[in-house]
Amino acid sequence: MFRGSSAINLDAKGRLAMPSRYREELLERCDGQLVITIDLADPCLCIYPLPDWEKVETQLSQMPSLRPQTRQLNRLLIGSAVDLELDSSGRLLIPVRLREQAGLTKQVMLVGQLNKFQLWDETKWNELLTADLEDIKNSDHLPEELMNLVL
């Protein structure tokens, strides 16, 4: 499982050095084979180990293909997906088109999300984190499953 966040600089070619704490698990889980695509809800990218991405593809393939929402999901998620591979130095090349889509420049945040990572522009991530903390502090009506969460 992937957790935590790491501030990373993309190099001039758009490569991201995967933090060493994740490399061994990625090599074991997927032999360094990953898939990157857009996030449907947030202005970031999602990076999946290949086996986890294949589960998403399986779910999408089982949805009714004539339903407009299914076609939209396929166009957005599958159409934006790019296969990646960790190189011998533990780096990933983030495609230009996807970097532009998410507004990524040099300073990014790699955020563990259990079975995948999100890749954020660092400024956007910090703004969202601050806003999320405020929302939680000021919320009077959290869903029951959150109220029962043991922290």
Domain parsing of the chain, residue ranges: 5-54+81-138
How far from the centroid of its chain's Cα atoms is residue 101's Cα? 13
Separation of alpha carbons 80 and 40, rounded Å:
11
pLDDT value of position 48: 98
**First-to-final CA distance of the chain:** 18
pLDDT value of position 139: 76
pLDDT value of position 122: 98
- The CATH class given to the 5-54+81-138 domain equals alpha beta
pLDDT value of position 137: 82
pLDDT, one tens digit for every residue, the chain (151 residues): 899 999 999 999 999 999 999 999 999 999 999 999 999 999 999 999 999 999 999 999 898 888 899 899 999 999 999 999 999 999 999 999 999 999 999 999 999 999 999 999 999 999 999 999 898 888 777 777 776 765 6
Separation of alpha carbons 56 and 60, rounded Å:
6
For residue 122, what are the CA distances in angstroms to 105, 143, 150?
A: 9, 29, 29
Burial category of 125 from C-beta neighbours within 10 Å (exposed 0-12, middle 13-18, buried 19 and up) = buried
Separation of alpha carbons 123 and 65, rounded Å:
38
pLDDT value of position 149: 66
**Structure tokens of 70?**
């299914």
Contact 11, 22 (CB under 8 A): no
